[in-house]
Amino acid sequence: MTVKPVGFDKVVTVDLAATWFRDGMTLMVGGFGGVGNPPTLIQSILDNNIQNITLISNDTAFPYIGVGKLITERRVKKVIASHIGSNPNAGAQMTAGELEVEFCPQGILAERVRAGGVGLGGILSDIGIGTIAEKGKSKVTVDGREFLLESPLTAEVAILHAKKADRYGNLVFDTSARNFNPLVAMAGDLTIVEVDEIVEVGELNPEEIITPGVFVDMIVQSEGVNWRWAWEK
């Protein structure tokens, strides 16, 4: 893995960003059902033949959309997600014992990512008390109530998609494509953002900025995605 970049101007080429991808990495990806997934960075992972990924994402998207392509091409060995139902390839691989799946309720998943991003030791939840969801988890009693300790989630590399970024890495998201992306931005040891438009510092309306540049290490220009091709596949 290359040395982490340092500097205010964080715009790099996709090829340079790809030097941080490696076999066996833990990868966190923003998005929801493919919306908000970074298509150019995902394609770069495929093009560089990266294997044995541990993927943390809300879902596994669709077979040929977003992170679903990583599943379909069998680049993922384990996924931590809230659901995989929209991608039949994920279900088939799980049933065949080829893909390890850790399910996590969507709200708890979001909080685990947030906890990792802000440096908490975990969160307490009573969801799953008295069920198989307790397996392998510590219990904590607070004021006479019992909770499960849900561990924080972080990743070696976090990738996400934004509508706009300035060169310092301040981010604006496109309506609901915001979803998990701001949380994912905080939880990567190294965070790479793919954006549709890169602007100069000072051009963004401060009221629009959701993720400040302090969480962003690199910015790449998106090459877009052929959605019609993806759906037809």
Reported as a single tens digit per residue, the pLDDT across 20-66 is 999 999 999 999 999 999 999 999 999 999 999 999 999 999 999 99
Average pLDDT (108-129) is: 96
User: Is the pLDDT score of 76 beyond 70?
Assistant: yes
Q: How far apart are CA 112 and CA 28, in angstroms?
A: 12
Q: How far apart are CA 34 and CA 57, in angstroms?
A: 10
Helices (H), the chain: 14-18, 39-47, 68-72, 88-95, 106-118, 181-186, 227-232
Average pLDDT (211-216) is: 97
Q: How far apart are CA 126 and CA 146, in angstroms?
A: 7
Q: How far apart are CA 41 and CA 189, in angstroms?
A: 17
Query: Global pTM?
Result: 0.92
Pairing mode of beta strands 26-29, 53-56: parallel
Q: CB count, 10 Å around CB of 68?
A: 27
What is the fold, at CATH topology level, of the domain defined by 18-119+153-162+173-196+214-223? Glutaconate Coenzyme A-transferase (3.40.1080)
**What does the pLDDT read at residue 8?**
85
Q: How far apart are CA 29 and CA 21, in angstroms?
A: 13
Domain residue spans of the chain: 18-119+153-162+173-196+214-223
Q: What residue type is assigned to position 103 of the chain?
A: F
Q: How far apart are CA 54 and CA 27, in angstroms?
A: 6
pLDDT averaged over every residue in the chain: 94
Reported as a single tens digit per residue, the pLDDT across 153-177 is 999 999 999 999 999 999 999 999 9
pLDDT band per the 50, 70, 90 thresholds, residue 229: very low
Q: In the block, which residue shows the tokens 């590399």?
A: 157
pLDDT band per the 50, 70, 90 thresholds, residue 115: very high
Q: What residue type is assigned to position 108 of the chain?
A: I
Q: Which two tokens mark 144?
A: 């006479």
